[in-house]
Structure 1
Amino acid sequence: MTLLVTGAAGFIGSNFCHHWRGAHPGDRLIALDALTYAGNAANLAALDGQAGFRFVHGDITDGALVERLLREEGIDTIVHFAAESHVDRSIHGPAAFVQTNVVGTQVLLEAARRVWLAGSGREHRFHHISTDEVYGSLGPEDPPFHETTPYAPNSPYAASKAASDHLVRAWHHTYGLQVTTSNCSNNYGPYQFPEKLIPLVILNILHGRRLPVYGDGTQVRDWLHVADHCRGIEAVLRDGRMGETYNIGGFGELTNIELVRRLCALLDERFAAEPELARRFPDAPQARGAPAESLIEHVTDRPGHDRRYAIDPGRITGELGWSPSHDLTSGLADTVGWYLANGPWWTAVMDGSYREWLSQQYGGGVLPQNQEGTS
């Protein structure tokens, strides 16, 4: 297989690239990313220079670039991660979400249609990664989302992803493009950009900063380790039925406040067991004998905040034999360990020095002018 992975330098996309290279070393990977604020080429540094791997700095809304890559590289599979994905950012600036998530998906679909259906006629697959947020919000006793749950998005982000899901479905039914879609629950694990809840809590504790919790903190999310998500996508690419959607969930429902408390407890335990952490992170509350929970601060809830998400992964489990290999307890402990062990990565992301690394790797001026103020 020759895969075009969009959003390849982002959190889930980069984890997928590492997973696929390990599981399918004979396949070729073309990694496409616009390198906006959450796209970090350093996430793929370990793959640079490997035979069968190529990084391309470019935007999915550039139809000519996408079509050229499909033709020149002989791509037969698109794995489409590229998306604006932060709900708070979508509330304050929805236009970027429509441009990337809706227009960008349409551009990809059209390029694929021109090359695969009107051109080469090769066997192909367009796999689209989406989110459980397209389904809206659940009540405390409601059954989890399944593939036929009606769409009811409540944020600009969720609405833009719902629109992209519909476009993928339409290009299959109208034009015959061979597509699959997966809707996942909240991911966590290595390389996650620090604006998201789990890395934000970990790094705020290490720096002695407040831990903001929206409202009463009883919003429920289903947490999925990114490695299990990558395995789920692999299962769909291998055996998924064309035109179908597969929900991928982690069987990890937890309230936000309980999640924050678990992370606090994990870091308290690590500081107690490893005295050198107090020297490395002198601003952390544990360095002065205080628990991490002392940093928790409840803040005003955001508009349209969904109360509960939960995924029923029965279809992918029953049809494709997939199941998560990480439970939330071990997965969170591993994730805390990864951030403690990879200080240079998140320090570079947070202080902006990775821009210099990026320029050294890929030449000056790699970030378009209209993106300069976004990270």
Structure 2
Amino acid sequence: MVMKKALITGSSGYIGSRLCLHLANQGYIVTALCHSKMPEDKNWVSKMFKVVVGDVRDEKLLCELAADKYDILVHLVSLDHHQSNGSPANVSAVNITPVWSLLDVFSKGGLKKFLYFSTAQVYGTLQSEVVTELRKTNTQNAYGLTHNIGEVLCEHYNRTTNIDCRIVRLSNSYGAPIFEENNCWWLVINDLCRMAYTKKEIVLQSDGTPLRDFIHGWDVCRGIQNIIETSEVHMTYNLSSGNTISIMEIAKKIRDVFKYRYNIELPITAAECKNNMQTPKYIIDNSLICSIGFEPKWSLEKGINDLFNFLEQNNE
């Protein structure tokens, strides 16, 4: 493979830190744009071609970066689901405006490929259906809305400039953090594994019936590499495991792995079921990304074990 120059925004974040490491290990020349401070992990830093500490909202910085002529830019900066419910001015300044600024600046600088991390939440409430990339978007929250706007910006620049835009609609990622400060313990599987390890119980906030598609962080990275390297011309990809599972089923898998590792049977507590209606069983279809060579490698059991390994090693 010809060594390609990649710029990753949000490099100190939960997904960005892992993606930088993965691409660097695969031979990419990675420039990591980190917000607020230099990461403390010297091994991680040593694998980067360059680490830039700066704000993606700083257009002067973006112009300086564009002068370095990158082949690929992966944009990961976003407020999380909860933070995206803040004031529209603050949320759009992080979730929307930088997408526009990056596309504007780098399209003039000769960037070849722009990957935008969106979310499966742009689809809105899902029924009993197979959700392909052709499904109409129907956002139900600010997080989905702002990412849908980001997608429209990508579509515009893909149509009107030479930049090759790709949209990644991610389901629900999980896995141990690369950096200790990564904000990831509110994610369902991460949260339940830490609860099991530290409190020796699993307490669900729901009745356990809600459904999710979970994909491990390392599979996310491999999917992104497939999208970067394919010659196929598809603009939007679902990045998912293609396997939908209830929160209760996840809790039971965590309980089973915990019992196998530690020989302790954990109690599972769930909220009372207030609705006897059957939860719609949807599938976030990943056949398009699989058609370009992607295949999920991390089973839930492997991912749960890896989280317990992390918790043991870090005395959580």
Q: Describe the superposition over 1:82-104 as per-residue Cα deviations: whole angstroms up to 9, x where unpaired.
A: 1112x233335665432211112
CA shift for structure 1 position 49: 3.2
Partner residue in 2 for 1:89? 83
Q: In the aligned structure 2, how far is the partner of 1:262 from the partner of 1:35? A: 38
User: For 1:41, what is the secondary structure of its paired residue?
Assistant: coil
Specify the alignment match of 2:114 in structure 1.
126
Aligned equivalents of 1:167 and 1:60: distance in 2?
A: 16
Deviates more, 1:157-166 or 1:324-333: 324-333
Q: Residue 266 of structure 2: which of 286, 292, 297 is its match?
A: 292
Provide the TM-score with structure 1 as the length reference.
Answer: 0.73
Alignment partner for residue 97 of structure 2, among 96, 103, 113?
A: 103
Q: Which residue of 1 aligns with 2:242?
A: 251
Distance 1:336 1:177, change over 3 A: same
- Counterpart CA distance in 2 for 1:74 and 1:222 is 36
Q: Give the Å deviation of 1:186.
A: 0.8
Please state if 1:333 is matched with 2:305. yes
| Aligned equivalents of 1:102, 1:115: Cα separation in 2 | 20
Residue 216 of structure 1 and its aligned partner are, at CA, apart by 2.2
What residue is the counterpart of 1:59 in the other structure? 55
Q: Secondary structure at the match of 1:75?
A: coil
Contact 1:202 1:336 in 2 (8 A): yes
Structure 1, unmatched stretches of 5+, are 117-122, 273-285, 348-375
Residue equivalent to 1:8: 11
String of CA shifts for 1:88-145, please: whole Å, max 9, x gaps. Answer: 33335665432211112111111112322xxxxxx61111121111111212x322x2
2:39 maps to a residue whose letter is A
CA RMSD across the alignment: 2.7
Aligned to 1:170: 156
Alignment match, 1:70:
66
Shift of residue 173, structure 1, vs aligned partner: 0.9
Residue pairs, 1:1-375, within 5 angstroms? 1-24=4-27, 27-35=28-36, 41-42=39-40, 45-50=42-47, 53-71=49-67, 73-85=68-80, 87-91=81-85, 95-116=89-110, 124-139=112-127, 141-143=128-130, 145-191=131-177, 193-208=184-199, 213-242=204-233, 244-272=235-263, 291-294=265-268, 296-298=269-271, 310-318=283-291, 320-343=292-315
**Distance across 1 between alignment mates of 2:217 and 2:126:** 23
Give the residue type in structure 2 aligned to 1:91: N
User: In structure 2, how many angstroms separate the alpha carbons of the residues matched to 1:103 and 1:309?
Assistant: 32
- For 1:208 and 1:260, the matched residues in 2 are separated by 14
1:242: Cα distance to partner?
Answer: 4.7
Gaps of 5+ in 2: none
Gap change, CA 1:309 and 1:35, over 3 Å in 2: farther
User: For the residues of structure 1 that align with 2:273 and 2:63, how far apart are their CA atoms?
Assistant: 45
Contact 2:244 2:283 (C-alpha < 8 Å) held by counterparts: yes
Equivalences, count: 304
**Worse-matched range after superposition: 329-338 or 226-235:** 329-338
Q: Structure 2: which amino acid aligns with 1:233?
A: I
Which amino acid is the alignment partner of residue 55 of structure 1?
A: V
Task: Tell me the alpha carbon deviations over residues 168-189 of structure 1, each in whole angstroms, 9 at most, x when there is no partner.
Answer: 1111112332211221211112
Tell me the secondary structure at the aligned position of residue 96 of structure 2. helix
User: Aligned letter for 1:316?
Assistant: I
Question: SS of 2:207's equivalent?
Answer: coil
Kept after mapping to 1: 8 A contact 2:69/2:109: no
Shift of 1:309: 6.0
Sequence identity percentage: 23
- Which has the larger displacement, 103-112 or 308-317? 308-317
Deviation track 1:331-370 (CA, whole Å, cap 9, x = no partner) reads 3223332332234xxx6xxxxxxxxxxxxxxxxxxxxxxx
Contact 2:210 2:246 in 1 (8 A): yes
Q: How far apart are the structure 2 equivalents of 1:309 and 1:212?
A: 25
Paired letter, 2:108? R
Change over 3 Å in CA distance of 1:203–1:332 after alignment to 2: closer
CA distance in 1, matches of 2:64, 2:168: 26
- Distance change in 2, residues 1:112/1:69 (3 Å): same
Bigger helix fraction: 1
Q: CA deviation at 1:308?
A: 6.5
1:214 and 1:300 in contact (8 A); partners too: no
**Structure 1 position 243, deviation (Å):** 6.0
Preserved CA contact (<8 Å) 1:137 1:308: no
- Letter matched to residue 234 of structure 1: Q
